[in-house]
A and B are shown apart, each in its own frame.
Chain A
């Protein structure tokens, strides 16, 4: 039950994009077409779950026993950067079609603050291993959900008459604001 609450809360209520403002760069950059948004969402979910669990292991098995908690930031970012490289090589070897779909998005993920954010938040919230797994999966799917909805809206927006100066980032942010208002409706889901 506890795990379900963590999952739903990471997915909908505390949505990473619309509540924590993490991963805004890809959210604005890659949300103009639906198919690329789906690939990006899946790639982020995949890397986020692995990165959060590996960071958790590093933090509790390596940093805490040796009292090196102050190295948290440096070690997490290095773990994530090398992990993304590894995942990229692994996918290219094992599943070329998957690599075709996700390939160009993987390097972009290193600088996605949502990945580092989820690793830092699991430490901050003192989650155990299983909770970390569930939390990062929910957060990743929440990111995918937000970016896919956004891409759907933006494809429709192409036909709208947006003022010249508002095109691009401006209208995307205002749309995201309305989306955030809509997601606030979920906050009654868990007491």
Chain B
């Protein structure tokens, strides 16, 4: 039961993007199309689950003073793997994501989970926490990119959804649109949470 709680907390209650406001760079930068968002979710999930696993395994032998440096090296290793894999098998996606794949290293969600959870808990709990957080991150990115692609291009994952009557709302694909969509999503998220906690 307790483990189940660790698993689902990232989905809504402690959602890394909407509640903790972490990992803003990829959330804003690569959500212009759903395809880019899926690539980023997969890369982040791989790095987060992999490094949580390793960090929780070695948590007892790492001296306290050098723990941050150790976490960063572990994370950077997984990021390098993800980056090389994408470059080799999905060159066009890798090009579209550009510097944002290497930048997963400094994504506060990943370092934050290592520091707050994986370095203090066992392997199973850390894995569940990492998978739950990845799902929460995925929910946020899918929401963001769906809204932006639908309004900005009238498509979803490249498929035409809105008819020819729809004039694409260009600004949604541009950087300014990312800020607006995330701002309004956080607003909606907070309103829903408030309404529930009252009732």
Interface residues of A (CB under 8 A from B): 18-22, 24-25, 28, 70-74, 77-78, 81, 111-113, 116-117, 120-121, 124, 163-166, 169-174, 176-178, 180-181, 184
| Distance to closest chain A CB from B105 (angstroms) | 5
Q: State which of B99, B171, B178, B179 has its C-beta within 8 Å of the C-beta of A120.
A: B99
Asked whether A21 lies within 8 Å of B175 as measured between CB atoms, the reply is: yes
Q: Which residue of A lies closest to B195 (CB)?
A: A165
User: Considering the chains assembled together, what is the distance between the CA atoms of A151 and B178 in angstroms?
Assistant: 20
In addition to A116-B103, A117-B103, A173-B183, 11 A-B residue pairs with Cβ atoms within 8 Å of each other are A18-B175, A24-B28, A120-B103, A124-B99, A163-B187, A166-B187, A170-B190, A174-B183, A176-B179, A176-B183, A180-B179
Contacts of A19 in B (CB 8 A): 175
Known: A78-B72, A124-B99. Contact between A184 and B174, CB under 8 A?
yes
Q: Tally the A-B contacts, defined by beta carbons under 8 Å.
A: 112
Asked whether B25 lies within 8 Å of A22 as measured between CB atoms, the reply is: yes
Contacts of B77 in A (CB 8 A): 74
Known: A73-B102, A166-B190. Contact between A177 and B72, CB under 8 A?
no
Asked whether B186 lies within 8 Å of A180 as measured between CB atoms, the reply is: no
User: Considering the chains assembled together, what is the distance between the CA atoms of A186 and B163 in angstroms?
Assistant: 34
Contacts of B182 in A (CB 8 A): 173
Known: A73-B83, A169-B186. Contact between A181 and B176, CB under 8 A?
yes
Interface residues of B (CB under 8 A from A): 21-22, 24-25, 28-29, 69, 72-73, 76-77, 79-80, 83-84, 98-99, 102-103, 105-108, 111, 171, 174-180, 182-184, 186-187, 190-191, 194
Known: A24-B28, A117-B103, A174-B184. Contact between A165 and B194, CB under 8 A?
yes
User: Considering the chains assembled together, what is the distance between the CA atoms of A112 and B108 in angstroms?
Assistant: 9
Contacts of A74 in B (CB 8 A): 73, 76-77, 80
Known: A25-B24, A165-B190, A177-B176. Contact between A170 and B98, CB under 8 A?
no
Q: State which of B22, B83, B98 has its C-beta within 8 Å of the C-beta of A124.
A: B98
Known: A70-B80, A163-B187, A174-B179. Contact between A24 and B105, CB under 8 A?
no
User: Considering the chains assembled together, what is the distance between the CA atoms of A4 and B142 in angstroms?
Assistant: 39
User: Considering the chains assembled together, what is the distance between the CA atoms of A112 and B24 in angstroms?
Assistant: 11
Asked whether A177 lies within 8 Å of B190 as measured between CB atoms, the reply is: no
Contacts of B21 in A (CB 8 A): 28, 169
Asked whether B24 lies within 8 Å of A165 as measured between CB atoms, the reply is: no
- Pull 21 A–B residue pairs with CB atoms less than 8 Å apart, ordered by A: A18-B175, A20-B29, A28-B21, A70-B84, A71-B80, A72-B102, A74-B77, A113-B25, A117-B103, A120-B103, A165-B187, A165-B190, A166-B186, A166-B187, A170-B190, A173-B182, A173-B183, A176-B179, A177-B178, A177-B180, A180-B174
User: Considering the chains assembled together, what is the distance between the CA atoms of A112 and B103 in angstroms?
Assistant: 10
| Distance to closest chain A CB from B143 (angstroms) | 14
| Distance to closest chain B CB from A185 (angstroms) | 11
Asked whether A170 lies within 8 Å of B186 as measured between CB atoms, the reply is: yes
| Distance to closest chain A CB from B41 (angstroms) | 17
| Distance to closest chain B CB from A9 (angstroms) | 15
Known: A81-B69, A120-B103, A166-B187. Contact between A111 and B176, CB under 8 A?
no
| Distance to closest chain A CB from B198 (angstroms) | 12
| Distance to closest chain B CB from A181 (angstroms) | 5
Known: A21-B178, A111-B111, A184-B174. Contact between A77 and B190, CB under 8 A?
no
